[in-house]
Protein backbone atom coordinates (compact mmCIF):
# COMPACT_ATOMS: atom_id res chain seq x y z
CA UNK A 1 0.00 0.00 0.00
CA UNK A 2 1.99 2.89 -1.33
CA UNK A 3 1.14 6.27 0.20
CA UNK A 4 2.53 8.09 -2.84
CA UNK A 5 -0.14 6.65 -5.17
CA UNK A 6 -2.70 9.22 -6.28
CA UNK A 7 -6.05 8.80 -4.58
CA UNK A 8 -9.03 8.18 -6.80
CA UNK A 9 -11.96 9.56 -4.85
CA UNK A 10 -14.82 7.17 -4.26
CA UNK A 11 -18.33 8.46 -3.55
CA UNK A 12 -19.02 7.14 -0.06
CA UNK A 13 -22.76 7.86 0.07
CA UNK A 14 -23.61 4.71 -1.89
CA UNK A 15 -21.07 2.43 -0.24
CA UNK A 16 -22.24 -0.53 1.82
CA UNK A 17 -19.53 -1.55 4.29
CA UNK A 18 -19.33 -4.59 6.54
CA UNK A 19 -17.15 -3.84 9.58
CA UNK A 20 -15.89 -6.87 11.52
CA UNK A 21 -14.16 -6.76 14.91
CA UNK A 22 -14.61 -8.81 18.07
CA UNK A 23 -13.88 -5.75 20.21
CA UNK A 24 -17.24 -3.97 20.43
CA UNK A 25 -15.66 -0.62 21.41
CA UNK A 26 -13.43 -0.61 18.32
CA UNK A 27 -16.35 -1.71 16.16
CA UNK A 28 -18.40 1.26 17.41
CA UNK A 29 -15.50 3.67 16.76
CA UNK A 30 -15.00 2.35 13.21
CA UNK A 31 -18.76 2.58 12.61
CA UNK A 32 -18.81 6.20 13.83
CA UNK A 33 -15.81 7.11 11.65
CA UNK A 34 -17.39 5.53 8.58
CA UNK A 35 -20.65 7.38 9.18
CA UNK A 36 -18.79 10.69 9.72
CA UNK A 37 -17.00 10.04 6.41
CA UNK A 38 -20.41 9.77 4.75
CA UNK A 39 -20.57 6.02 4.11
CA UNK A 40 -24.13 5.19 3.07
CA UNK A 41 -24.56 1.95 5.02
CA UNK A 42 -22.52 0.23 7.72
CA UNK A 43 -23.28 -3.25 9.01
CA UNK A 44 -21.36 -4.36 12.10
CA UNK A 45 -20.34 -7.90 12.94
CA UNK A 46 -18.51 -9.19 16.02
CA UNK A 47 -16.95 -12.20 14.25
CA UNK A 48 -16.00 -13.52 10.83
CA UNK A 49 -18.47 -16.38 11.24
CA UNK A 50 -21.34 -13.95 11.95
CA UNK A 51 -20.15 -11.83 9.01
CA UNK A 52 -20.56 -14.85 6.71
CA UNK A 53 -24.26 -14.87 7.61
CA UNK A 54 -24.52 -11.20 6.63
CA UNK A 55 -22.68 -11.89 3.36
CA UNK A 56 -25.01 -14.83 2.64
CA UNK A 57 -28.05 -12.53 2.79
CA UNK A 58 -28.66 -11.63 -0.86
CA UNK A 59 -30.72 -8.60 0.22
CA UNK A 60 -27.62 -7.06 1.82
CA UNK A 61 -25.23 -6.19 -0.97
CA UNK A 62 -21.82 -5.41 0.52
CA UNK A 63 -19.21 -3.37 -1.38
CA UNK A 64 -16.36 -3.47 1.10
CA UNK A 65 -15.26 -5.48 4.13
CA UNK A 66 -13.20 -3.82 6.86
CA UNK A 67 -11.97 -6.64 9.07
CA UNK A 68 -9.82 -7.03 12.17
CA UNK A 69 -7.11 -9.68 11.88
CA UNK A 70 -6.99 -11.17 15.39
CA UNK A 71 -10.29 -12.82 16.24
CA UNK A 72 -11.30 -16.17 17.71
CA UNK A 73 -12.57 -19.01 15.47
CA UNK A 74 -11.57 -17.33 12.19
CA UNK A 75 -9.02 -14.57 11.67
CA UNK A 76 -9.36 -11.78 9.14
CA UNK A 77 -6.71 -13.28 6.87
CA UNK A 78 -8.51 -16.65 7.01
CA UNK A 79 -11.75 -14.98 5.93
CA UNK A 80 -9.90 -13.18 3.12
CA UNK A 81 -8.38 -16.45 1.91
CA UNK A 82 -11.75 -18.21 1.94
CA UNK A 83 -13.35 -15.38 -0.06
CA UNK A 84 -10.54 -15.08 -2.61
CA UNK A 85 -10.48 -18.87 -3.05
CA UNK A 86 -14.18 -18.76 -3.93
CA UNK A 87 -15.37 -20.91 -1.03
CA UNK A 88 -18.56 -18.83 -0.69
CA UNK A 89 -20.46 -18.68 -3.96
CA UNK A 90 -22.62 -15.81 -2.66
CA UNK A 91 -19.58 -13.57 -1.98
CA UNK A 92 -17.78 -11.98 -4.95
CA UNK A 93 -14.14 -13.10 -4.93
CA UNK A 94 -13.08 -9.56 -5.80
CA UNK A 95 -14.96 -7.81 -2.99
CA UNK A 96 -12.88 -4.97 -1.55
CA UNK A 97 -11.22 -6.13 1.67
CA UNK A 98 -9.36 -3.87 4.11
CA UNK A 99 -7.44 -5.53 6.94
CA UNK A 100 -7.14 -3.84 10.34
CA UNK A 101 -4.57 -5.03 12.85
CA UNK A 102 -2.96 -4.00 16.08
CA UNK A 103 0.21 -5.87 15.24
CA UNK A 104 2.34 -5.32 12.16
CA UNK A 105 3.38 -8.97 12.06
CA UNK A 106 5.39 -9.58 8.92
CA UNK A 107 3.78 -12.99 8.31
CA UNK A 108 0.27 -11.48 8.46
CA UNK A 109 1.21 -8.64 6.10
CA UNK A 110 2.82 -11.07 3.62
CA UNK A 111 -0.19 -13.40 3.71
CA UNK A 112 -2.62 -10.49 3.23
CA UNK A 113 -0.62 -9.19 0.26
CA UNK A 114 -0.51 -12.70 -1.26
CA UNK A 115 -4.28 -12.78 -0.89
CA UNK A 116 -4.65 -9.46 -2.74
CA UNK A 117 -5.89 -7.46 0.24
CA UNK A 118 -7.09 -4.05 -0.94
CA UNK A 119 -5.92 -2.12 2.11
CA UNK A 120 -4.14 -2.49 5.41
CA UNK A 121 -4.62 -0.25 8.47
CA UNK A 122 -2.74 -0.36 11.77
CA UNK A 123 -4.60 0.32 15.02
CA UNK A 124 -5.41 2.75 16.44
CA UNK A 125 -7.62 3.43 13.44
CA UNK A 126 -8.09 7.05 12.43
CA UNK A 127 -10.79 8.51 10.18
CA UNK A 128 -8.07 9.74 7.80
CA UNK A 129 -6.43 6.30 7.51
CA UNK A 130 -9.83 4.67 7.05
CA UNK A 131 -10.98 7.02 4.29
CA UNK A 132 -7.63 6.82 2.47
CA UNK A 133 -7.73 3.01 2.60
CA UNK A 134 -11.25 2.97 1.13
CA UNK A 135 -10.31 5.38 -1.65
CA UNK A 136 -7.24 3.28 -2.49
CA UNK A 137 -9.22 0.03 -2.37
CA UNK A 138 -11.70 1.32 -4.93
CA UNK A 139 -9.10 3.19 -6.95
CA UNK A 140 -7.39 0.04 -8.16
CA UNK A 141 -8.44 -3.53 -8.59
CA UNK A 142 -5.66 -6.01 -9.26
CA UNK A 143 -6.71 -8.97 -11.39
CA UNK A 144 -7.56 -12.00 -9.31
CA UNK A 145 -5.48 -15.13 -9.45
CA UNK A 146 -7.00 -18.58 -9.81
CA UNK A 147 -8.93 -19.79 -6.72
CA UNK A 148 -6.40 -22.57 -6.07
CA UNK A 149 -3.60 -19.99 -5.88
CA UNK A 150 -5.37 -18.40 -2.93
CA UNK A 151 -6.17 -21.74 -1.30
CA UNK A 152 -2.45 -22.48 -1.24
CA UNK A 153 -1.45 -19.32 0.66
CA UNK A 154 0.00 -20.29 4.05
CA UNK A 155 -1.67 -18.57 6.97
CA UNK A 156 0.42 -17.19 9.84
CA UNK A 157 -0.01 -18.74 13.28
CA UNK A 158 -2.01 -16.67 15.73
CA UNK A 159 0.16 -15.16 18.50
Domain range for 113: 12-151
What value does the mean pLDDT of the chain take? Answer: 91
Residue 93 included in any domain:
yes
Q: How many CB atoms lie within 10 A of CB 92?
A: 15
Spatial distance between the Cα atoms of 129 and 94, rounded to a whole number of angstroms: 22
Residue whose C-alpha is closest to residue 113's, from 146, 80, 71: 80
Question: Residue 4 has what pLDDT?
Answer: 52
Residue 89 included in any domain:
yes
Could you report the per-residue pLDDT of 112-131, keeping only the tens digit for each? 999 999 999 999 999 999 99
Could you report the per-residue pLDDT of 66-91, keeping only the tens digit for each? 999 999 999 999 999 999 999 999 99
Residue 2 included in any domain:
no
Total count of domains within the chain:
1
Q: Tell me what the mean pLDDT of segment 37-64 comes to.
A: 94
Residue 159 included in any domain:
no
Question: Residue 6 has what pLDDT?
Answer: 53
pTM: 0.92
Spatial contact of 139 and 7, defined as CB atoms under 8 Å apart:
yes
Could you report the per-residue pLDDT of 13-38, keeping only the tens digit for each? 999 999 999 999 999 999 999 999 99
Residue 146 included in any domain:
yes
Amino acid sequence: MNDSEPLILTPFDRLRVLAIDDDRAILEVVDAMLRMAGVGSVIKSASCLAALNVLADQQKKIDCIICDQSMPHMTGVELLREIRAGHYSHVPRDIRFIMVTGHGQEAVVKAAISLDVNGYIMKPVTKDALTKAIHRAFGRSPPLKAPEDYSGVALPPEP
